[in-house]
Amino acid sequence: LVAERILDARERGIELRDQAVLFRAGHHADGLELELARRDIPYVKYGGLRYLETAHVKDLLALLRILDNPADELAWHRVLLTLDGVGPVTARRLADELRVTKPMADALARFVDGIGRVPSQAAEQAVELRGALADCADGRLDPGAQIDRLAGFCRLGFPNRYENGLARLADVDRLATAARAYASRSRFLTEVTLDPPSRIGEVVPPSLDDEWLTLSTIHSAKGCEWRSVHLLHAADGNIPSEMALGHDGGLAEELRLLYVAVTRARTELTVSYPHRFHVNRFAADDRHVYARLSRFLEPVRPLFDEVVELDDDGEERAVPLGPVGVAEEVDGVLQSLLGDGPPAGSSP
């Protein structure tokens, strides 16, 4: 929906550089970044690394690239470097052992069969990697299921390779969710580009002649203005952040942050919030809560224009602004399953 609104504003004469998407925390934009990449909408993110440029996401995408093209030496080199005790020299030696001809046409089969002498501390990882690659190469698993299978290898390596390993594993699950929308691994990789390792974390400022969309945390947006601003995840628990409410003055500071966000827009302000979100995005389970509009925005909710969503045909439809309870939402889902559509006044 946000991507559609951005493109609609551009059609109405508001260039991408005159638009911004703001959020309280960097990970709030992860899903949007995937959608922007899929639609080839250029953007620059301030306040945290771009999701697809984080090292651990690139590690996982390198695994998918090996499955899609075993001759990809760059992807092999990156994956081999994730093994404990493997540095550039060892990775080069292992790659040479895997190379049968140039390019490494049979590298995947040889690795799965056990070719390549890895350091002893990487033995468990190598066994898990061989099993995961074998399971993903036989064509039975869809792209999302392949990422789920490769996640076992990531769980062995990420804690030793990166700080905040649990948070990075949560990003693997998020990427698997995005991949389930694709029929093939090749299609997914085509739309989610993996840059070479030398580009990790590199932020390339756009040219003054380029058009780009700004993604920014609210903190990084202070002092800036755009014609159109899209504020994400304006739900209680996100804005205000529940983590900021444990000390004196935290609520007041969160209110000031929201004030900063809504006053960045000169002409148009679009505020969105999810119907539900995870209790703990780092947890392995699927616990979630139904979201409520931010307590800061609830008193001024009648001042906003009606919200729109997209139906199955891609057309916008009006959604009532009145409060919708869980019972009404369940009734709406049941009605839609029966083919009658949601009842009047309920949320889609």
Q: Along the 348 residues of the chain, how does pLDDT read in single tens digits? A: 899 999 999 999 999 999 999 998 777 888 888 889 888 899 888 765 566 678 888 899 999 988 888 888 888 889 988 888 888 888 888 887 776 544 555 666 667 666 567 788 888 888 898 889 889 988 889 998 999 999 999 988 888 888 777 777 777 877 887 788 777 888 788 766 533 333 333 344 554 456 889 998 888 787 889 999 999 989 888 888 877 676 677 788 889 889 999 999 999 999 988 877 765 554 455 667 788 889 999 898 888 886 666 566 666 555 544 444 455 556 666 776 776 544 444 444
Rounded to whole angstroms, what are the CA distances from 119 to 94, 173, 271, 285, 327? 10, 29, 52, 34, 57
Output the CA torsion sign for 146, 151, 153, 157: positive
- Indicate the pairing of strand 316-319 with strand 307-310: antiparallel
- Name the residue with tokens 């205000």: 240
Q: DSSP strand E in the chain: where?
A: 19-23, 43-46, 213-217, 226-231, 265-271, 276-278, 288-290, 307-310, 316-319
Run of H or E residues at 334: helix 326-337
3-class state of residue 217 by DSSP: strand
Q: Are 214 and 226 in contact (CB under 8 A)?
A: yes
Residue 48 gets the label, from left (phi > 0), alpha (psi -120 to 50) or beta, of left
